[in-house]
Amino acid sequence: MSNNEVSAEFIDDYIKKMAMESEKNRLQLLDNSLIYEEPLVGFASGDDPIFSQYKTIIGEFHMTPRDALEKATGQTPEKVSVISWILPVAEKTKATMRRERTYPTERWAHAREFGEVFNEFVRAQVAQVLTERGYAAVSPYLSPSFQRIVSDTDRTSNWSERHIAYACGLGTFSLNDALITPKGMAMRCGSVVVGLELPPTPRKYDFYAAHCPFMVDGSCGKCIDRCPAGAITEKGHHKIRCFNFQTAFADPGVKRYDLPRIGCGFCQTGVPCESAIPWGLLKRPGQGSTQ
């Protein structure tokens, strides 16, 4: 099969168009409004050394882009790239959460549930359009190789979508672990690996948590008080406390909405990093910018 030319612009437009036009990006059981606003899209070389570093930072089990592509397709293309996208939660949904303190709003819970259904659709569609044009492609999260790694003290995976987004220049980590992107922390993200050369998006940061004022100089810390579970402290994010707390929202007798999962996300809303990088808190007099 001969390859049809695919450019970074084509992929960027394809993902943005899908978000704006797909019925799946709508809160169909509520008011049919958008789940996500316009996505951000970034790229990295699959051979960027950061992906091997993740075997130390995350664990030996974390797949490199080549691992994921070769396992799924059996192909070893000369050039490999990673495509990552950020799906920013719509303003209307974030606004409902800002007023709440204890139980996620119905809009947030629907956006979590059906927003991830849409995210899976984007992963599958992007991989398919590239495959149809003759390129080896896989969404590692949807592939049989994807594994969640669960213990009494940790919850992780062998394809961390936010580490992939970090590598693709889309944002940095934070005090509460979540990724702060130019469109904020209230988002979900996804990725596809493709046997094609794409121009890497510059990473405009040299510290893995450069977008979080607490991690830069100990200021902000607003997510500590926002978390109703006490899962965020000055020492960071307690994943098991967080997991147990949000799982309890879906217990019969507690559950308020007819959904399998409720999610949480108080730390992602009503905080300075909710919808943007909090530059105002990062640019302190005499300190200059971290951008």
- Which residue, 193 or 267, has its beta carbon nearer to ligand B12? 267
Give the contacts of 177 (CB within 8 A, at least 6 positions apart).
Answer: 236, 237, 239
Binding characters for ligand SF4, 266-285, by CB under 6 A (x = yes): xx---xxx----x-------
Residue 264 lies near ligand SF4 (rule: CB under 6 A):
yes
Handedness of CA 179, 183, 185, 186 (dihedral sign): negative
Residue 173 lies near ligand SF4 (rule: CB under 6 A):
no
- Which residue, 14 or 243, has its beta carbon nearer to ligand B12? 243
**C-beta of 149: minimal distance to ligand SF4 in Å?**
19
Cα–Cα distance, 266 to 103 (Å, whole number): 9
Cα–Cα distance, 192 to 68 (Å, whole number): 10
Cα–Cα distance, 33 to 22 (Å, whole number): 11
**Binding-site partner at residue 214 among ligand SF4, ligand B12, none, CB < 5 to 8 Å by type:** ligand SF4
Handedness of CA 67, 126, 147, 82 (dihedral sign): positive
Residue reference for tokens 């990473």: 203
Contact 43/79 with Cβ under 8 angstroms? Answer: no
**Binding-site partner at residue 112 among ligand SF4, ligand B12, none, CB < 5 to 8 Å by type:** ligand B12
Residue 171 lies near ligand SF4 (rule: CB under 6 A):
no
**C-beta of 153: minimal distance to ligand SF4 in Å?**
16
**Binding-site partner at residue 98 among ligand B12, ligand SF4, none, CB < 5 to 8 Å by type:** none
**C-beta of 104: minimal distance to ligand SF4 in Å?**
8
**C-beta of 218: minimal distance to ligand SF4 in Å?**
9
Residue 186 lies near ligand SF4 (rule: CB under 6 A):
no
Residue 242 lies near ligand SF4 (rule: CB under 6 A):
yes
Residue 182 lies near ligand SF4 (rule: CB under 6 A):
no
User: Among the candidate windows 77-85, 130-138, 148-156, 226-234, which touches ligand SF4 by CB under 6 A?
Assistant: 226-234
Residue 39 lies near ligand SF4 (rule: CB under 6 A):
no
DSSP readout, 208-272? Answer: TTTT-HHHHHS---HHHHH-TTS-EETTEE-HHHHHHHHHHTTSTTT--SSSS-----GGGSSST
Interface with ligand B12 (CB under 6 A): 57-58, 112, 119, 141, 148, 155-157, 159-163, 166, 173, 176-179, 185, 187-190, 208, 237, 239, 242-243, 263-265, 267-268
**C-beta of 168: minimal distance to ligand B12 in Å?**
11
Tell me the residue ranges of DSSP E strands in the chain. Answer: 40-45, 81-88, 137-138, 148-150, 155-157, 187-194, 232-233, 236-237
Instruction: Give me the count of residues in the chain.
Output: 291
Decide the pairing of beta strands 232-233 and 137-138: unpaired
